[in-house]
Amino acid sequence: MDMIRLFGNKVFLRVTVSVFFSLFCLSSFGKCEDKVREFYVEYMQNAGRNPELNEALCEAHITSELRVQLGNYIAATDVDPVLRAQDVCDYGIESLSVTDLSDDWYMVRYKWDSNSEYIEIPLKASEYDGTMKISYITPLWLGNRYGDILLRKE
């Protein structure tokens, strides 16, 4: 009887641990993806109403190194590299989606209107102490390329 109880306790413990880790993984799945989407919604809303608010938003959610690079991209292209556009529209926010690609890379997609092609913006983002930080946004001239190979400095 003790052997059955011991075996039963081991099975119970394994099942309990498995369920706990499964729930933990499910609760953290998509968390950064959701935060990237929330960032983009707020950024797009600010861009349409009060663009100055995006400075604090970017300071909170974009690494300082990337903020410098984005300034250079704007000077080179006259386009907001976060949006890959000069302005925004309400349909862009409605059509916004974020997809997990792999290894902290995400694809942000939105449309200008229902008949337009998607604007796609690959980026790298991670969570640090509960805060999502974007560390890389693929420049317009690299199209839809993504991956850590883009992070290498020549």
Return all residues near 88 (Cβ < 8 A) that are at least 6 apart: 44, 47, 48
* Confidence grade of residue 24 (pLDDT, cut at 50, 70, 90): very low
pLDDT of residue 51: 92
pLDDT single digits (tens) 89-111: 999 999 999 999 999 999 999 99
Q: What angle do CA 47, 93, 139 make, to 5 degrees?
A: 65
Q: What percent of the chain has pLDDT over 90?
A: 70
pLDDT, residue 20, reads 38
The CA distance from 8 to 62, in Å, is 50
Provide the pLDDT for residue 28: 45
Check residues 8 and 48 and name the one with the higher pLDDT: 48
Which tokens go with 79?
């386009």
pLDDT value of residue 128: 80
Domains of the chain listed by start with CATH number: 30-151 (3.10.450.50)
